[in-house]
């Protein structure tokens, strides 16, 4: 199947995209921009996943992204409002656009990821906007499923990521008392979504989803502390203090330690659903416990403390600055011909004007290295060595092995997807700089690369389709 996923680089959407691709499905991650977070990069580098540029606020771009898809998983959402990204614009208007675009594109099924206690008229804009999204989906002509999960954990999450950072950073933990939760493993949520999207289970059902382990939230924090070997004394404080801390975190932090909506969510506890009349069949019931084993498997690969870079005034002070460009075209040649053209670097120089003289190419099966001179913004540049890896014949990944100053690295890929009109080729390339030179060069290089990469793909199309025309005469 061909399945589109909004929010496809988030927790649920990312794990769902990877699981669907691993099962052999074509996955379209719908994204409004290039997501450079480590988890997002891992998701987008998965074979079988392609990216379509679209904004849930733009009905036309969504419908184009959904063309040819049989199902859509709507996983996009926010837990705090920031600028134009309000609960109304993302949860309500965005869901309305997703439904209209899916219906317009001829999609059959839609699964919405909502929230365990979403309901109307409760005084919480988060809860109420999630409920409004549910109502929009239930009123559609699609084969819909509404999933209402509670607190979730898994690789790439905010829960364990932020808890581990907090325990590593602060000398005490501010507790919430007796409030209880049933943490849900993201893998359990994904299993249910796959059953809905692929197998047609739970059609026209609104189902609550909670993990099998009921635990006090403070006890959950202590369990995480035991796993990472950072046990902190607990000081219980009133809920009003947590609301104050949440407002400060939303103001000061790029990604808040805790958001106001999350305090409200926790205040209600996460052990009972509201307005979710249907039940999961036994074979789909979550069965992954919240214990030391599952926590250890879900923690970030590299544990970190909170630092200045997590504060808004210092957000721009990073160890590296990444500038990316992306282009996409449908080319009337098969994927093998296209990727073999790219790997023939002497020929490929016709399309990529950033390549200078080719010094050498060394290959070993589907991997190898190439060294060539460079040209950036029309200026000759020193030679660079790139490593490449071919996934026959759907994807070609490049990575910098030796790059000249001021570059700190290079990442890029070509992905190919067969369609009825030809092969859809997506090319993405990212230049990586240090913090000082990156801030100096980015205003000049970013506009150039955003034009050059799409132009490069257009030149590939013109060259290969021109060769095909000449050979057919």
Q: Which tens digit of pLDDT belongs to each residue from 200-246?
A: 999 999 999 999 999 999 999 999 999 999 999 999 999 999 999 99
Query: How many distinct structural domains can be found in the chain?
Result: 2
| Residue 245, token pair as written in the block | 């801390």
Same domain, 218 and 353: no
Neighbours of 27 (CB within 10 A): 27
Same domain, 237 and 366: no
Q: Are residues 296 and 384 in the same domain?
A: no
CA-nearest of 147, 131, 133 to 191 is: 147
Candidates 118, 272, 257; CA nearest to 181 is 272
Tell me which residue range forms the domain holding 41: 2-314
End of a domain among 314, 342, 368?
A: 314
Say if residue 362 is in the same domain as residue 233: no
Q: What is the CATH number of the domain that holds 398?
A: 3.30.530.20
Q: Do 254 and 339 sit in the same domain of this protein?
A: no
Quick one: pLDDT at residue 242?
96
The token pair that represents 299 in the structure block? 């923690």
Q: Please give the Cα distance from 143 to 124 (Å, whole number).
A: 29
Q: Distance (Å, rounded) from C-alpha 47 to C-alpha 325?
A: 20
Q: Tens place of pLDDT for every residue, the chain, 473 residues?
A: 999 999 998 999 999 999 999 999 999 999 876 666 777 788 888 888 988 888 899 899 999 999 999 999 999 999 888 888 899 999 999 999 999 999 999 999 999 999 999 999 999 999 999 999 999 999 999 999 999 999 999 998 889 999 999 999 999 999 999 999 999 999 999 999 999 999 999 999 999 999 999 999 999 999 999 999 999 999 999 999 999 999 999 999 888 889 999 999 999 999 999 999 999 999 999 999 999 999 999 998 888 899 888 888 776 555 688 999 999 999 999 999 999 999 999 999 999 999 999 999 998 888 999 999 988 877 888 999 999 999 888 999 999 988 998 898 999 999 999 899 999 999 999 999 988 888 899 999 999 999 999 999 999 999 999 887 776 66
Angle at 253 between CA 161 and CA 53, to 5 degrees: 75
Inter-residue contact 325 to 449 (CB < 8 Å): yes
Domain boundary among 290, 314, 338: 314
Q: What is the C-alpha separation between 379 and 375, in angstroms, rounded?
A: 5
CA distance 375 to 378: 6
Please check whether residues 68 and 203 belong to one and the same domain.
yes
Side-chain-side CA neighbours of residue 463 (13 Å): 16
What pLDDT does 36 receive? 65
Per-residue pLDDT of 135-191, as tens digits, reads 999 999 999 999 999 999 999 888 999 999 999 999 999 999 999 999 999 999 999
Looking at the fold, whether 27 and 80 belong to one and the same domain comes out as yes
Sign of the alpha-carbon dihedral angle for 49, 55, 57, 58: negative
The answer on 332 and 232 residing in a single domain is no
Give the model's pLDDT for residue 300.
87
> Which residue, among 153, 126, 148, 152, has the nearest Cα to 137 in the 3D structure?
148
Spatial neighbors of 363 by CB under 8 A, at least 6 apart, are none
pLDDT of residue 284: 96
Structure-token pair, residue 61: 């771009």
User: Do residues 66 and 84 lie in contact, with contact meaning Cβ atoms separated by under 8 Å?
Assistant: no
Residues 177 and 326 both lie in one domain: no
| Residue 226's CATH number | 3.40.50.720
Q: What's 390-448 look like in SS3?
A: EECCCEEEEEEEECCCCEEEEEEEEEEEEECCEEEEEEEEEEEECHHHHHHHHHHHHHH
Domain match, 290 and 343 both: no
340 and 285, same structural domain?
A: no
Length of the chain: 473
Report the DSSP pairing between strands 407-419 and 395-402.
antiparallel
* Contact (Cβ atoms closer than 8 angstroms) between residue 394 and residue 340: no
Indicate whether 75 and 51 sit together in one domain. Answer: yes
Q: In the listed set 260, 279, 314, which residue is the last one of a domain according to the structure?
A: 314
């Amino acid at each position: 199947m061909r399945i589109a996923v909004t929010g496809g680089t988030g927790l649920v959407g990312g794990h769902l995209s990877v699981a669907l691709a691993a099962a052999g499905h074509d996955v379209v991650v719908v994204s409004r921009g290039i997501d450079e977070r480590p988890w997002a990069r891992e998701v987008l580098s998965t074979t079988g996943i392609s990216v379509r540029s679209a904004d849930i606020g733009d009905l036309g771009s969504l419908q184009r992204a959904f063309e040819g898809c049989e199902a859509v998983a709507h996983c996009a959402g926010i837990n705090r409002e920031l600028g134009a990204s309000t609960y109304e614009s993302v949860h309500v208007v965005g869901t309305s656009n997703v439904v209209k675009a899916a219906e317009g594109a001829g999609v059959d099924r839609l699964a919405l990821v909502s929230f365990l206690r979403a309901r109307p008229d409760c005084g919480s804009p988060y809860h109420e906007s999630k409920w409004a999204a549910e109502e929009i989906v239930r009123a559609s002509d699609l084969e819909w499923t509404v999933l209402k999960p509670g607190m979730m954990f898994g690789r790439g999450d905010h829960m364990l990521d932020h808890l581990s950072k907090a325990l590593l950073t602060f000398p005490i933990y501010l507790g919430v008392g007796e409030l209880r939760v049933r943490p849900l493993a993201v893998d359990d949520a994904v299993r249910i979504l796959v059953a809905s999207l692929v197998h047609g289970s739970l059609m026209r059902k609104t189902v609550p989803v909670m993990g099998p382990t009921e635990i006090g939230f403070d006890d959950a924090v202590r369990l995480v502390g035991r796993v990472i070997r950072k046990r902190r004394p607990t000081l219980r404080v009133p809920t009003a203090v947590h609301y104050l801390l949440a407002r400060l975190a939303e103001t000061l932090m790029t990604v808040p330690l805790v958001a106001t909506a999350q305090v409200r969510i926790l205040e209600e506890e996460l052990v009972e659903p509201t307005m979710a009349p249907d039940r999961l069949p036994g074979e789909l019931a979550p069965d992954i416990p919240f214990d030391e084993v599952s926590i250890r498997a879900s923690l970030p690969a590299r544990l970190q403390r909170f630092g200045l870079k997590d504060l808004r005034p210092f957000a721009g002070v990073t160890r590296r600055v990444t500038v990316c460009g992306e282009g996409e075209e449908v080319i009337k040649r098969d994927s093998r011909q296209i990727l073999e053209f790219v790997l023939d670097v002497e020929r490929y120089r016709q399309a990529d004007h950033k390549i200078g003289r080719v010094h050498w190419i060394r290959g070993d099966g589907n991997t190898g290295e190439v060294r060539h001179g460079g040209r950036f913004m029309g200026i000759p540049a020193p030679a660079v060595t790139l490593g490449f890896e071919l996934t026959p014949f759907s994807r070609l990944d490049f990575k910098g092995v030796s790059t000249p100053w001021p570059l700190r690295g290079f990442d890029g890929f070509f992905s190919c997807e067969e369609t009825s009109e030809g092969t859809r080729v997506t090319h993405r390339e990212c230049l990586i700089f240090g913090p000082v030179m990156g801030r100096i060069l980015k205003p000049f290089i970013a506009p150039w690369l955003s034009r050059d990469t799409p132009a490069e793909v257009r030149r590939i199309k013109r060259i290969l389709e021109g060769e095909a025309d000449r050979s057919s005469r």
